[in-house]
Each structure stands twice: as C-alpha cells, then as structure tokens.
Amino acid sequence: MGTVGHNGNRYDHPGEQTGRDPVRLIAIRDTPLSLDEVFAAVGEDSAGGTALFVGTVRDHDGGADVAALGYSCHPTAEAEIRRIAEAVAEKFPVRALAAVHRVGDLKVGDLAVVVAVACAHRGDAFEACRSLIDDLKREVPIWKHQTFSDGTDEWVGA
C-alpha cells in the first residue's frame, strides 16, 4: 500500500520519505566544479542508489580537433536548471538532486557539468539522472563556443 510523499510519489517504507526539498544544489559557476561537492549535496540516508554524470571537455568534436572552448549562458539559465530539476523530482522518486554547470573558458579535461540524483533504488537513480542531464542540455540556454585547431569555430547549445 505505502505512503504518498510530499511530491506525490508513493513510498513503501517511512524511511524513504525525507521531508526535505529534493533539489539540494543548483548553480552556474565560472570556477572549477567539484565532484565531491555535488556528491555530498545528494547524500541521503533513504537513498540506496546515487547516479552521477560528469561532462568533461573533450579534445575533438565532429572529427575536428578542439583548440579552445568557452561556455556562456542567458541570465535565466540557473532558473531553468531549477525548473528542470523540480520537474525531474516530480516525475521520479527522487530523494536528492544536484546540478552544476560551468561557464567561461575551459580546457580539455575540465569539468563542464556535474549532475547527481539519489533515489531509494538504483534503476530510478539512473533514469532520473539521464532525464536531468538530457533535459538540461536540450532546454537550458547555455551555449558552447568551440574553436578548432584549423581556425574555424562553431556555437552549439540550447
């Protein structure tokens, strides 16, 4: 039978209810991102599974060598990430969620985005994490400017 929690999700055990807002960390930063910070933000005793996605700057795209990369965003980008995070928390049985994106000039290997979702079960955590990153990349007004080693460049983004 179970109990219905604050976000409408059904819980089989009282320990699965956190009573806290599941959206724990949302940010856009012009400084290096921290895996430890994001992982700590979603720490939750009622979660048996945490899925973490890390997007890094790669050295190529579309068959061309990337020489430089920069991210910029619209002033509403952080609010859009929050909107998406809240929607994911409503759709999935999320206990805790975090999403942080970097802007500015980045180097190959730098962390560009880190998202994490904690749920009672791993399958839900994987699904919710994938939904969070996919929706973020598709809908949030963040743009990537890539410069290639041959001097050409391109803009990519939502």
Q: 49-108: per-residue pLDDT in tens?
A: 999 999 999 999 989 999 999 999 999 999 999 999 999 999 999 999 999 999 999 999
* Cα Rg, the chain, nearest whole Å: 17
Q: What is the pLDDT of residue 149?
A: 94
Task: Determine the pLDDT at residue 20.
Answer: 84
> Which among 85, 106, 87 has a CA at the least distance from the CA of 38?
85
- Indicate if the pLDDT at residue 7 is higher than 70: no
d(CA 66, CA 50): 32
Integer Cα distance of 14 and 115 in angstroms: 26
Query: How confident is residue 157, by pLDDT bands cut at 50, 70 and 90?
Result: confident
